Amino acid sequence: MSDTPDSAVRTYTEQHRTAFLDDLAEWLRIPSVSAQPEHEGDVRRSAEWLSAKLKETGFPVTEVWETDGAPAVFAEWPSDDPSAPTVLVYGHHDVQPAAREDGWSTEPFEPVIRDGRMYGRGAADDKGQVFFHTLGVRAHLAATGRTAPAVHLKLIVEGEEESGSPHFRDLVERHADRLAADAVIVSDTGMWNETTPTVCTGMRGLAECEIEFHGPGQDIHSGSFGGAVPNPATEIARLVAALHDADGKVAVPGFYDGVAPLTDTERALYAELPFDEADWLHTARSRAASGEAGYSTLERIWARPTAEVNGIGGGYQGAGSKTIIPSSARAKISFRLVAGQDPDHIEKAVRAWAEARVPAGISHRITFLPATRPCLTPLDHPALRAVAGAMGRAFGQKVLFTREGGSGPAADLQDVLGAPVLFLGISVPSDGWHAPDEKVELDLLFKGVETAAHLWTDLAAALR
Amino acid sequence: MSDTPDSAVRTYTEQHRTAFLDDLAEWLRIPSVSAQPEHEGDVRRSAEWLSAKLKETGFPVTEVWETDGAPAVFAEWPSDDPSAPTVLVYGHHDVQPAAREDGWSTEPFEPVIRDGRMYGRGAADDKGQVFFHTLGVRAHLAATGRTAPAVHLKLIVEGEEESGSPHFRDLVERHADRLAADAVIVSDTGMWNETTPTVCTGMRGLAECEIEFHGPGQDIHSGSFGGAVPNPATEIARLVAALHDADGKVAVPGFYDGVAPLTDTERALYAELPFDEADWLHTARSRAASGEAGYSTLERIWARPTAEVNGIGGGYQGAGSKTIIPSSARAKISFRLVAGQDPDHIEKAVRAWAEARVPAGISHRITFLPATRPCLTPLDHPALRAVAGAMGRAFGQKVLFTREGGSGPAADLQDVLGAPVLFLGISVPSDGWHAPDEKVELDLLFKGVETAAHLWTDLAAALR
């Protein structure tokens, strides 16, 4: 070829644009809603459709993997260079529920293209973002003249992400050998906005607990006994109030042990993002920003661990009044964790902190749910530079960096496979994930194709 | 008569024992449950039965008074001494719901006498205690040889006490002229125990509120926003935690304004009561006593104002977890008030305290319910000495003093009529108010008759 690789990728992508969009639309017509039992067959059909499409794309190995829930799809395309590194791409083929009457302008499972966007459930989350890898790898081969990718390429596309990935960790553990990789590319996130390409460098972890306080053996009369015995509702409130110090830091001793500090480089990069606090508050449906002293809003949600009360309850909550001292009260508290924090250590620290605060006359029970680890790839990691570089080539502009405040199954991949996790997402906040009129911007979708096409060459070099 | 007045009263009481118990049993057979609409007719029948019985007793005036709810009974028996003071007796003729299947050994509305006790719904609360006044006034006349009581005697017996007396204050205000009295005797409480006669000197008042905090416009994702916006569940917990100081005092500025201090005399009298903290904790179904530093358990529940959380709630309270920042949270808080505290002042103080603590980004709503005032009769009040004296004559032993931690409509009588309220109750904690197998101890019931018989002579002298 006489083209530069970049223009060759663009040309190939443009030539296959129509067929690619037709294929994506066909996939979006399968209502693979994992949360709704009536769509169980559709989720399976979606897995089979994807498996066949990956075979057609050229993956020599494509398999539908069973779980105790919905099936996942695995595909593998070994490099023609035996010494090439191995890269695993993660995505999911299930989607959120959707119905026209929820407020969709058109049928959610009848995709349409309007104003340079494809509308349909799963267009952005996550079928569109899985699917750009199919044309991406073909463009990669076409532009480089290779017959196989520059990396050993693997895909794992699960079918239960929208239901909380209940069987994903088990799946990864059972197939750890076949999933083994030098890096994981997660394509299930987004970028800052339509004009600001960004790479996400990590997600927070999650430790969740419920703390119950039990006082009197039953609700007792607040006139007869009020002021003379411990009140579990008051005591649980005191515990919750002690959760943060005056600076908004989590006051649990040991909570910050090991926390990877936010580097000046990263703070400077975050500060380059076109962040508008008023817009952000509008999205958060909140009237004020608050939190840990010394950190910006983005730093607070991305790079700092937090404790939030998800629910609190005890005693009478109906209309009017009931003059009781409640028998019990409870709080559900979740901790978002950042790199360097260990969920087991957090559980121990929270238990010790809470138990030291249980007053005489109150018994307690603390229950932790299975935790999700944080994941973070350092800014100077060669694989991360490769992802940002490939994205920069596709977009033709500087790529900035973000993190995600939420938590996800990506951490299981990092954890079980011991590989760095990198996020390549081209969705934007206006795409309407989980909402009516979900869409994907076609220009960005094809930037995703181009990024994927460049990525295998760049990653092969970076990881060598 | 050649008998002493005390033995004359006893003789008269014993002579009329059987007829009195037959009459009480007849009244207890009327299921006057004010809370259950299907018993509306029974509550009216109960009022009419009592009115007729009071007429038969000798009251020249007996009337059924209508309210916007269940009817009350009023009766009046002027003294033969025109300069005699006026005394109003308060009780109620409605009862708590009761069904055999709740755990009753016999039918709740088929009273039976067993082991010196009469079992049946209302035996102690409050029909038995209203009814001892009928034989009491007859014994008073028989022992003194009078044709009318030594005081102008009035009775008001309401029909909605077990439903929270929603129309009682209105009734008292409408009939304030006819209810006017120099002292009010409330027979709807109890004494310390079977062997310790006591007189209650007051009840606490009650101010109740609900404080709501509103944060985000809807529940928002605790991963995407956690740590960067105010959480109303955390904030309501902080407010509740700020309600008390480290000494267990209510930390609302101005809360203790005007509080009548507990006198050394009263503390000494309370200390004479055979109080067993382990027994009390058993009754309270609690494992530890706690509260305001510097006060005993009895002092805390009787003589000190308190703040109790009756309910707290916000966010997700179901099984498992939901990673949200809740949109709102609320606490129901009730304040028990003692003599000298003004509910309107308390409401203002609580509002000012709470409003000063609402953080940026949280909006609030504070709702107060109608309050009940505290009431207290000083230990040296002549009418109180008369009640204790009459009870001492009936029981033949020293009478001690208590208070009630709860709140009741007695305060409305004190408030509207401007008369001291005195409590003459012969029920004991084992009587099972509101519980299955409610009963009254017959020995104590007749001590009540004798006390009432002595009381009018003693009160006439005391109030002159």
CA distance linking residue B106 with residue B63, whole number of Å: 34
Strands A400-404 and A152-158: unpaired
Q: Copy the structure tokens of residue A271.
A: 């500060």
Tell me which residue of A198, A181, A205 sits closest to A335, measured CA to CA. Answer: A205
CA distance linking residue A52 with residue A388, whole number of Å: 31
Q: Does residue B380 surpass a pLDDT of 60?
A: yes
Strands B205-214 and B363-368: antiparallel
Contact status, residue B420 vs residue B380, Cβ threshold 8 Å: no
Q: Copy the structure tokens of residue A90.
A: 């993660």
Contact status, residue B50 vs residue B71, Cβ threshold 8 Å: no
Strands B324-325 and B220-221: antiparallel
Strands B152-158 and B86-92: parallel
| CATH 3.40.50.300 for domain A205-259+305-368 | no
At B34, which helix (H) or strand (E)?
A: none
Q: Does residue B1 surpass a pLDDT of 50?
A: no
Cβ contacts (< 8 Å) between A281 and chain B: which residues?
229
List the single best residue of B209, B286, B375 to mutate versus A (max A Cβ within 10 A).
Answer: B286
Dihedral of the alpha carbons of B252, B254, B257, B262, in degrees to the nearest 10: 20
Helix (H, G, I), strand (E, B) or coil at A158: strand
> Position of tokens 């005056």?
A246
What is the tens place of the pLDDT at every residue in A102-118? 999 999 999 999 999 99
Cβ contacts (< 8 Å) between B289 and chain A: which residues?
228-229, 361
Cβ contacts (< 8 Å) between A215 and chain B: which residues?
286
List the single best residue of A209, A236, A282, A312 to mutate versus B (max B Cβ within 10 A).
Answer: A312
Q: How many CA atoms lie within 13 A of A397 on its CB side?
A: 9
Give me the CATH code for the B5-203+374-463 domain, please. 3.40.630.10
What is the tens place of the pLDDT at every residue in A179-209? 999 999 999 999 999 999 999 999 999 999 9
Are B406 and A230 within 8 A, CB to CB? no
- Range scoring the smallest mean pLDDT among A151-155, A320-324, B91-95, B330-334: A320-324
Cα dist from B71 to B34, B40, B50, B410, whole Å: 10, 10, 11, 18
CA distance linking residue A411 with residue A421, whole number of Å: 8
Are A225 and B286 within 8 A, CB to CB? yes
Residue B335 C-alpha, separation from nearest chain A C-alpha, in angstroms = 9
Q: What is the pLDDT of residue B30?
A: 98
- Who among A221, A309, A361 is closest to B237 (CB)? A309
List the single best residue of A296, A309, A336, A369 to mutate versus B (max B Cβ within 10 A).
Answer: A309
What is the tens place of the pLDDT at every residue in A393-432? 999 999 999 999 988 888 889 989 999 999 999 999 899 9
pLDDT grade, residue B415 (50/70/90)? confident
Which parts of A257-304 fold into alpha helices (H)?
A: 264-272, 277-284, 297-302
Are A361 and B287 within 8 A, CB to CB? yes
Contacts of B440 (CB under 8 A, 6+ apart): B117, B118, B123, B124, B128, B129, B427, B431
Cβ contacts (< 8 Å) between A204 and chain B: which residues?
223
Are A236 and B404 within 8 A, CB to CB? no
Cα dist from A21 to A14, A17, A48, A440, B229, whole Å: 11, 6, 19, 11, 40
Considering only alpha carbons, which residue of chain B is nearest residue A234? B309
Contacts of B135 (CB under 8 A, 6+ apart): B13, B16, B20, B449, B452
Are A321 and B331 within 8 A, CB to CB? no
Q: Copy the structure tokens of residue A243.
A: 């959760």
List the single best residue of B203, B214, B234, B298 to mutate versus A (max A Cβ within 10 A).
Answer: B234
- Who among A204, A231, A241 is closest to B309 (CB)? A231
> Position of tokens 């079918």?
A159
Arithmetic mean of pLDDT over chain A: 95
Helix (H, G, I), strand (E, B) or coil at B308: strand
Q: What is the pLDDT of residue A3?
A: 60
Are A309 and B315 within 8 A, CB to CB? yes
Are B281 and A229 within 8 A, CB to CB? yes
CA distance linking residue A184 with residue A413, whole number of Å: 8
Are B291 and A228 within 8 A, CB to CB? yes
Domain boundaries, chain B: 5-203+374-463, 205-259+305-368
Contacts of A143 (CB under 8 A, 6+ apart): A1, A3, A5, A8, A9, A12, A453
Q: Does residue B350 surpass a pLDDT of 60?
A: yes
Q: What length does chain B have?
A: 464
Considering only alpha carbons, which residue of chain A is nearest residue B302? A224
- Who among B218, B231, B406 is closest to A309 (CB)? B231
Segment B100-122 mean pLDDT:
96
Q: What is the pLDDT of residue B164?
A: 84
Q: What length does chain A have?
A: 464
Contact status, residue B344 vs residue B243, Cβ threshold 8 Å: no
A335 beta partners: A207, A307
Segment B165-173 mean pLDDT:
94
CA distance linking residue B401 with residue B385, whole number of Å: 11
Q: What is the pLDDT of residue A2?
A: 45
A288 beta partners: none
At B323, which helix (H) or strand (E)?
A: none
What is the tens place of the pLDDT at every residue in A238-265? 999 999 999 999 999 999 999 999 999 9
Contact status, residue A372 vs residue A205, Cβ threshold 8 Å: yes
CA distance linking residue B67 with residue A395, whole number of Å: 80
Q: Does residue A84 surpass a pLDDT of 50?
A: yes
Cβ contacts (< 8 Å) between B322 and chain A: which residues?
310-311, 332
Cβ contacts (< 8 Å) between A310 and chain B: which residues?
222, 233, 315-316, 321-326
Tell me which residue of A80, A93, A84, A86 sits closest to A54, measured CA to CA. Answer: A93
CA distance linking residue A219 with residue A240, whole number of Å: 22
Q: What are phi and psi of B438, to 5 degrees?
A: -60, 140
Are B223 and A407 within 8 A, CB to CB? yes
Segment B277-295 mean pLDDT:
95
Q: What is the pLDDT of residue B3?
A: 59
Considering only alpha carbons, which residue of chain B is nearest residue A374? B223
Strands B183-186 and B86-92: parallel
pLDDT grade, residue A302 (50/70/90)? very high
Dihedral of the alpha carbons of A96, A102, A104, A105, in degrees to the nearest 10: 170
Helix (H, G, I), strand (E, B) or coil at B48: helix
For residue A108, with 0-12 CB atoms within 10 Å meaning exposed, 13-18 middle and 19 or more buried, which class applies? buried
Tell me which residue of B316, B370, B357, B406 sits closest to B211, measured CA to CA. Answer: B357
List the single best residue of A222, A323, A328, A433 to mutate versus B (max B Cβ within 10 A).
Answer: A222
Q: What is the pLDDT of residue B407?
A: 87
Q: What are phi and psi of A236, to 5 degrees?
A: -70, -35
- Peptide bond preceding A126: is omega within 30 degrees of 0, i.e. cis? yes
| Sheet strands (E) in A159-305 | 183-186, 198-203, 205-214, 220-221
Q: Does residue B2 surpass a pLDDT of 70?
A: no
Q: Which residue has the higher pLDDT, A370 or B157?
A: B157
Q: What is the pLDDT of residue A408?
A: 82
Segment B325-350 mean pLDDT:
97
Segment B24-31 mean pLDDT:
98
Are B288 and A230 within 8 A, CB to CB? yes
pLDDT grade, residue A274 (50/70/90)? very high
pLDDT grade, residue B357 (50/70/90)? very high
Contact status, residue A301 vs residue A270, Cβ threshold 8 Å: no
DSSP A263: P
Cβ contacts (< 8 Å) between A242 and chain B: which residues?
241
- Who among A224, A230, A288 is closest to B406 (CB)? A224
At A178, which helix (H) or strand (E)?
A: helix A176-179
